[in-house]
Amino acid sequence: MNRYLDHNATCPPVRASLDAMVRAAQEASGNPSSLHWAGRAARRVIDDARDAVAHYVGSESGSVVFSSGGTESDNIAIHSVLSSCMPGRIVTTAIEHPAILKPLQKFVASQPVDAGWQLVQVRPDEHGCVAAEKMIEAMTADTRLVCMMLVNNESGVVQPVEAVAAHCRNASVPLLVDAVQALGKVNINFTELNVDFLSLSAHKIGGPKGVGALLVRRGTKVEELAPGGGQERGRRSGTENVPAIAGFSAALGAIDFAALSPIRDAFEVQLLAQFPGAEVIGAKAQRLANTSLVLLPNMDGETMLMQLDLDGFAVASGSACSSGKREASHVLLAMGLSDMRARSSLRVSFGPDNSIDDALALVTALVKIRKRLKGMAGCAA
């Protein structure tokens, strides 16, 4: 029996999203930039979806720029700010997704050494939360951009974006918030946050892969990454993926992630009781109801993952976007864990297709795998 427990990596599409995609593909197959009836039908699908996304996250419809997903949205925002400003400081967290960290690092590395650019990465506390005070302290008069995720994708820990956003607004410093893992799981109100950019992705909430959005505060300049036909009001060129956009809007609110906390809690209670030395990262912090990042001492996370895979379980070791690499989680390393302890991590993220039986079965499997591996190594279980 296969059990999928990796919903933070991607959430299987919900029926409403699949139906909306098929309907859009069949009934709105025209190019949305065309002026004839077929083009207008496709344009209506996009306009309706834009209104739905805006309503769901508390923004104006004109703020929504459809993209291919969180990575592109983050890159558009970063490019928009850094391509036209004077050298200065960039402040972010040490636990950001690679979609933030890599473009920032690449930009700074591409500049002359004496240009004056500085990238500051603020570390979290032992619970995985980056203090707002530390973010604010890291900002100087020449800060050009601040990037801070709303929820960490590995630990599920919610970050204090509101306080940082208020300071950035007072200091007139652009703020990019990666809300990919937060969408559908915590309340998001773009207008109240009053940030400059906010990135979203559909497949984390049961929508299709390859589509997302960048929310842009009114009056904020957007510089295209790939100039072309001027779609999305000249902010992201390329013919829009109408079926995917329709599927994105249909998935909004389709899953009640908050209802999954009893499953996560049952998993953690049983794991701590049955797996000697196991730890739950972020247990004392505000975190997502469906996410559990655990440390299994003296066990290699990748090995555990592969053993679980053979038993029909799908979980994660580190973030999915960096899978296949033998590197310890940069999130856990930033929290101060040793390389060995960081490599002993597994992330379990529950979804609507899971039950408490799945959670308990996972614990049973982990205990058996531990005993098996210890036996192979000639150690007492």
Let me know the angle formed at the C-alpha of 312 by 306 and 318, rounded to the nearest 5 degrees. 45
**Is the pLDDT confidence value at 266 over 90?**
yes
Higher pLDDT, 113 or 34: 34
**Is the pLDDT confidence value at 318 over 70?**
no
- Mean pLDDT of the 88-111 span: 97
Give 150-160 pLDDT, tens digit per residue: 999 999 999 99
**Is the pLDDT confidence value at 67 over 90?**
yes
Q: Which candidate, 1, 14, 9, places its Cα nearest to that of 353?
A: 14
What is the chain's mean pLDDT, rounded?
Answer: 95
Q: Given pLDDT bands bounded at 50, 70 and 90, which one contains residue 321?
A: low
Q: What confidence score (pLDDT) does residue 92 get?
A: 98
Residue 102: other Cβ atoms inside 10 A? 15
**Is the pLDDT confidence value at 114 over 90?**
no
Contact 349, 290 (CB under 8 A): yes
Q: At what angle do helices 37-57 and 15-27 cross, to 10 degrees?
A: 160
- Mean pLDDT of the 37-57 span: 98
Q: What confidence score (pLDDT) does residue 343 get?
A: 93
Contact 72, 225 (CB under 8 A): yes
Whole-angstrom CA distances from 206 to 20, 141, 297, 328, 364 are 12, 42, 33, 28, 28
Q: What confidence score (pLDDT) does residue 113 get?
A: 87
Domains of the chain in sequence order: 3-11+256-376 (3.90.1150.10), 15-251 (3.40.640.10)
Whole-angstrom CA distances from 358 to 192, 283, 351, 354 are 38, 21, 11, 6
- Mean pLDDT of the 133-142 span: 98
Residue whose entry in the numeric block shows the structure tokens 């004839």: 36
Q: What confidence score (pLDDT) does residue 149 get?
A: 98
Q: What confidence score (pLDDT) does residue 317 get?
A: 86
- Mean pLDDT of the 267-285 span: 97
Question: Residue 315, SS3?
Answer: coil
Helix (H) or strand (E) holding 314: strand 313-314
Length of the chain: 381
Phi-psi region of 36 (alpha: psi -120 to 50; beta: other; left: phi over 0): beta
Determine the residue type at 146: V
Strand order across the beta sheet in which 118-122 lies:
64-67, 212-216, 197-201, 175-178, 143-147, 89-93, 118-122
Strands (E), 18-124: 64-67, 89-93, 118-122
Full 3-state SS string of 209-228? CCCEEEEECCCCCCCCCCCC
Least-confidence region, from 86-95, 175-184, 340-349, 370-379? 370-379
Q: Is 379 tagged catalytic?
A: no
pTM for this prediction:
0.95
**HSE-up of residue 156 (Cα within 13 Å, Cβ side):** 30
Q: What confidence score (pLDDT) does residue 327 get?
A: 82
The catalytically annotated residue of 147, 168, 321, 379 is: 321
**Rounded distance, CA 167 to CA 17, Å?**
38
Q: What confidence score (pLDDT) does residue 36 get?
A: 97
Least-confidence region, from 172-181, 185-194, 313-322, 328-337? 313-322
Let me know the angle formed at the C-alpha of 355 by 352 and 361, rounded to the nearest 5 degrees. 135
Tokens of 330: 């940069």
